[in-house]
Amino acid sequence: MSTIWSNTLLSEDHIMVAEGARDFSNKEIKPIAAEIDKQHRYPKEIIKSMAEMGLMGIAVPEEFGGAGMDCLAYTAALEEISVACASCSVIMSVNNSLVCDPIQKFGTDEQKKKYLPSLADGEKLGCFALSEPDSGSDAAAMTTKAVKKGNKWILNGVKNWITNGKEADVAIIFALTNPELKHKGISAFIVDSSATGYTAAKPEDKLGIRGSSTTQILLDNCEIPEENLLGELNGGFKVAMVTLDGGRIGVATQALGIARASMETSIAYSLERKAFGKPIANLGAIQDHLAHMSTKIDAARLLIREAALLKDQGKNYSRQSAQAKWFASEIAMEIATKGIQVLGGFGYTSEYPQERHFRDAKITEIYEGTSEIQKIVIARSLVKEFSK
Ligand code: CAA
């Protein structure tokens, strides 16, 4: 089994983090992953343990209560969590990439001191609210507004598809502060879910990642202190785009983990199941599926590590994270489908985990930018690079 894991580009410290996460995943998460899915249950106790292991604020500097590691460490650990449970991995990924990261990158010292330690140690959970009922791929088309009144911001609008929406204590919310300027008139805010006028609506009933909540957030004259503006006034679109560059590495890694789970399930089953007098792992048709799985998984992981490495080096990685996200999510879906084929009828029932991997894989082609959006980001980056 060890050949399925890859230590390429990882240091001793990264490997230690990955092994710790793998061990935890195998012992604590895998045995209950099906139950979490079936009951649509937020895995509170798992998230608490993950926080104790430093997994909820991996790249948050130690001075702000995090593990002080880098994006490579994040992907190494997240892959292992994702193999066991895609719900746990999206909860972890949103908290790290979409909440801690922008606060760390764009926040004031006071904001970092106030929010990062409790987000990293699991006392609090974060969510990221960009999309709206009528604005998803076209993020700049939002209508939520923020108006300054005295020393407060008053937010009004509806945010949609918010992962962790039900449990989140802290939300990064984007709103128009100058509607005439379109994307140049959007600002980012840190909003406590206890703020007046903030409501998390009923969770969506979803195809997959059922242990994580996805809700609307209703902002009805939601009042927040002026100092909760995140980054520059009217600079919110950039905060969103830069944050999503990092978030896409997280979703790519989640997809990679789901793909690996499908392959591991397929290998185990094909060694056990006999047809024509031998385990089906010896049949060419099954080996063809396994070869596709293994090669595409390794290719996805290399794309992810390249993007993570560039992020850690402080270089531009927008194209690489979009490439990693597009490729990893598409192969996760393809491999999950092949996994069902390998298991035949058993793959279609909840007796085996493969149908869950299949359901979980689909969302990775949609959230944090659909595959279609990733291709726009990739092509625009290429044109920009070549026009220099
Ligand atoms: N980094 C920094 N700046 C960036 C950037 C990046 N990666 N991408 C764009 N920008 C800047 C541009 O340089 C431009 O700046 P100027 O105005 O100064 O020139 C500005 O942003 C506007 O750029 P575009 O003209 O390219 O913007 P656009 O309106 O055409 O949109 C887009 C571009 C890539 C399609 C963007 O809208 C997008 O990413 N859409 C998808 C949104 C998305 O991923 N949503 C998911 C939300 S999170 C979620 O899924 C829920 C959850 O809980 C997990």
Query: How confident is the model over 187-217, as pLDDT tens digits?
Result: 999 999 999 999 999 999 999 999 999 999 9
Query: Is residue 184's pLDDT more than 60?
Result: yes
Neighbours of 351 (CB within 10 A): 12
Share above pLDDT 70 across residues of the chain, in percent, rounded to a whole number: 99
Pocket lining: 239 vs ligand 1, CB cutoff 6 Å: no
pLDDT digits (tens, 9 = 90+) for 66-86: 999 999 999 999 999 999 999
Of the chain, the end-to-end C-alpha distance in Å amounts to 46
Q: Which of 134, 142, 238, 382 to mutate to test the pocket of ligand 1 (most atoms within 8 A of CB)?
A: 238
Query: Is residue 224's pLDDT more than 90?
Result: yes
Split at pLDDT 50, 70, 90, the class of 3 is low
Side chain identity at 24, as an amino acid letter?
A: F
Split at pLDDT 50, 70, 90, the class of 61 is very high
Q: Report d(CA 263, CA 58) in Å as an integer.
A: 27
Q: Which residues pair with 176 in a beta bridge?
A: 145, 186
Q: How far is the CA of 365 from the centre of ligand 1 (A)?
A: 17
What pLDDT is recorded for position 276? 96
Q: Report d(CA 296, CA 342) in Å as an integer.
A: 17
Pocket lining: 137 vs ligand 1, CB cutoff 6 Å: yes
**pTM of the shown model:** 0.98
3-state SS assignment for residue 340 = helix
| H or E segment to which residue 84 belongs | helix 71-84
One DSSP character per residue, 248-288 reads HHHHHHHHHHHHHHHHHHHHHHHHH-EETTEEGGGSHHHHH
Q: Which residues pair with 135 in a beta bridge?
A: 132
Q: Where are the beta strands (DSSP E) in 274-343?
A: 274-275, 278-279
What pLDDT is recorded for position 1? 47
